[in-house]
Amino acid sequence: MKLAAKLILIVFVAIALLTCASAYLTVRHQFESFQREREEKARALKPIITDQLSKAWKEHGRPGVADALSGMPMEMRHSRMRWVEFGVESGHPDAPQVSQTALRRVVTGEIESVVTRSNSGEGWLHTYVPIDENEPVSTGVELSESLSLPDEQRRHTIRSTLATLAGLALVSLGVIMFAGVRLIGRPLEQLVEKTEQIGTGDLGHSIAIRGNDELSKLGIALNEMSSQIQNQKATIETETTNRIAAVSQLRHADRLKTVGRLSAGIAHEVGTPLNVVAGRAGLIASGRLSSEEIHESAETIKQEADRITAIIRQLLDFSRRTALDSHMTDLCTVVERTVGLLRSFAKSNRVTLELQDAASPLRANLDEGQIQQVLTNIIMNGIQSIAAEGRISVSMGTRTLVNPEQPETSPKQYAFVEVCDDGVGVDAENQEHLFEPFFTTKDVGEGTGLGLSIAYGIVQEHDGWIDVQSQPGAGSCFTVFLPQENQ
């Protein structure tokens, strides 16, 4: 409605300007025609009145000129005819009714017309016909005619123009009401409503705008765009679901791979208590033990069985596929559990795994299983990077930092876990690709290049990041940062 009104108003203003310009040109043309007609009439009278008036002036002076003028036929007379002398004072009886400066052409022998108006608005056209043939001309005839007819024509033209503009205004108002509401307003409201629906995610409703103009084509385009967005949305949702499932499978496969690597250390951890259980059970079966010794052996068997159960449960918990389950927990507990799980694997590879306890609990909102998988991948990579005997230190704490992946945010407190090894290290070029899927510096068959990529994805889901500091031959430090809950 508003757009239609603006467009029609612009058209109306343009037509009004053209109409006013046409009226102005018409009035001007009418006056110029009137003036030109009077000058032509004066030129036609000039030869006749020149002879008569010149003769009367020479023979009888001013009275003779007055008699000659009054004696001319009616068809030769204007409303007023008067003998004038140019160059005399303005108060002289024969002085022209206009300023002498307005009669420059007359003194050179040309006919000139001048318009004057009284205080009441009455207008006169004074046409001056020179009589002398010598220059400068000193005498002539003043032909004066009222401008009532041109003025009436002008007023009629103005009234006609105003009536036309009023009619155009009424027509424009009617067009605005019709075109603005039916042809433009309603279709635009439908288009705006459809756009708002798309903005809110409602893609199921289509609009129907009749006609074959630009608005109907825009409606069809919006319907097609809505349909395409809906199809793309469904495709994205399907691909997202498949991606999440694939990522979950990759993470689970990575855990199972880690379980396989830990199997040797776990076998050693389970073998020792099994030997104790077998020995104590053999003593009990021999019958040579007293009842007190049998009770003591039974307690030992139970303790070793509980130890084996705890080891197996820890391994099963690590390998089990679970959905993301974040909750407030102590990060120190997760780190201690992970280090405990990997000690035997590190020992079997002649690596000393050291843990530096935090000064206080590190409360954070995280998924224990997934963060344990992150730490396991990083620690095992450190173990495998040590060719001979070596050491890995794990430390924890808090720092106030700005997330480098969100530089526009303000600094806040993060809990961190730092894993440093004295292995072979990583050069600067390879550090840029460490977290890319399928990138690995290990020999063929020894790694898939997914471990660190999976770890980085998990940390990102927790709104954190992993920092790497490494030099070839000097080892590496991987630091996992996780946002810490405000205490």
Q: Which tens digits make up the pLDDT trace of 23-56?
A: 888 888 888 888 888 778 777 777 777 777 777 7
- Tell me whether residue 21 is in a domain: yes
Residue 365: what are its φ and ψ, rounded to 5°?
-95, 105
| Residue 35, CA atoms < 13 Å, CB-side half-sphere | 18
Q: What pLDDT is attached to residue 305? A: 81
Q: What average pLDDT does the segment 118-127 reach? A: 84
d(CA 390, CA 354) in angstroms, rounded, equals: 11
How does residue 445 score in pLDDT terms, banded at 50, 70 and 90?
A: very low
Q: Up-side HSE of residue 285: CA atoms within 13 Å toward CB?
A: 6
Q: Which of 256, 482, 245 minimizes the C-alpha distance to 376?
A: 256
Residue 126 belongs to some domain of the structure: yes
Confidence of residue 418 (pLDDT cuts 50, 70, 90): very high
Q: What is the pLDDT of residue 284?
A: 79
For position 487, what pLDDT does the model report? 44
Say whether pLDDT at 319 is over 60: no
pTM, two decimal places: 0.43
Residue 251 is assigned to a structural domain of this protein: no
> Which has more confidence, 9 or 1?
9
Higher pLDDT, 41 or 444: 41
CATH number reported for the structural domain that contains residue 81 in this entry? 3.30.450.20
Range of the domain at 389: 327-487
Chain segment 141-180, per-residue pLDDT in tens? 888 888 888 888 888 888 888 888 888 888 877 776 776 6
Residue with tokens 């290290």: 425
pLDDT over threshold 90, residue 273: no
Mean pLDDT of the chain, nearest integer = 78
Is 287 inside a domain boundary? no
Q: Does 437 sit behind a cis peptide bond, omega within 30 degrees of 0 on the bond before it?
A: no
Q: Which helix (DSSP H) or strand (DSSP E) does residue 384 occupy?
A: helix 368-384
User: In total, how many domains does the chain have?
Assistant: 2
Amino acid at 111: I
Tally the C-alpha atoms within 13 A of residue 17's C-alpha that lie toward its C-beta: 6
Alpha-carbon gap, residue 129 to 334, rounded angstroms: 120
Please report, to the nearest 10 degrees, the dihedral formed by the alpha carbons of residues 268, 270, 273, 278 taken in order.
Answer: -100
Q: Would you place residue 394 in the very low, low, confident or very high pLDDT band (cuts 50, 70, 90)?
A: very high
Model confidence at 261: pLDDT above 60? no
Contact present, 480 and 378 (Cβ < 8 Å): yes
Instruction: Please tell me whether residue 45 adopts helix, strand or coil conformation.
Output: helix
Considering the domain boundaries, does residue 203 fall inside one?
A: no
Domain boundary among the residues 156, 179, 197 is at: 156
Residues sharing a CB contact under 8 Å with residue 312, sequence separation 6 or more, in sequence order = 270
The residue whose two tokens read 């043939």 is 133
Residue 32 lies in a domain: yes
Domain termination site, one of 129, 156, 183: 156
Q: What is the pLDDT of residues 199-212, one digit of tens each?
A: 777 777 777 777 77
C-alpha 412: how far from its chain's center? 31
Q: Which H helix or E strand runs over 479?
A: strand 475-483
Q: Domain for residue 265, yes or no? A: no
Residue 419 lies in a domain: yes
End of a domain among 156, 183, 200? 156
Model confidence at 347, in pLDDT bands (50, 70, 90)? confident
With vertex at residue 309, the alpha carbon angle to CA 305 and CA 310, rounded to the nearest 5 degrees, is 120
**What is the CATH classification number for the domain harbouring 436?**
3.30.565.10
Residue 321 pLDDT > 50: no
Section 9-27 average pLDDT: 83
Higher pLDDT, 404 or 1: 404
Token output for 187: 């279709």
Give pLDDT, residue 263. Answer: 58
Q: Which residues pair with 353 in a beta bridge?
A: 392
Q: What is the pLDDT of residue 86?
A: 82
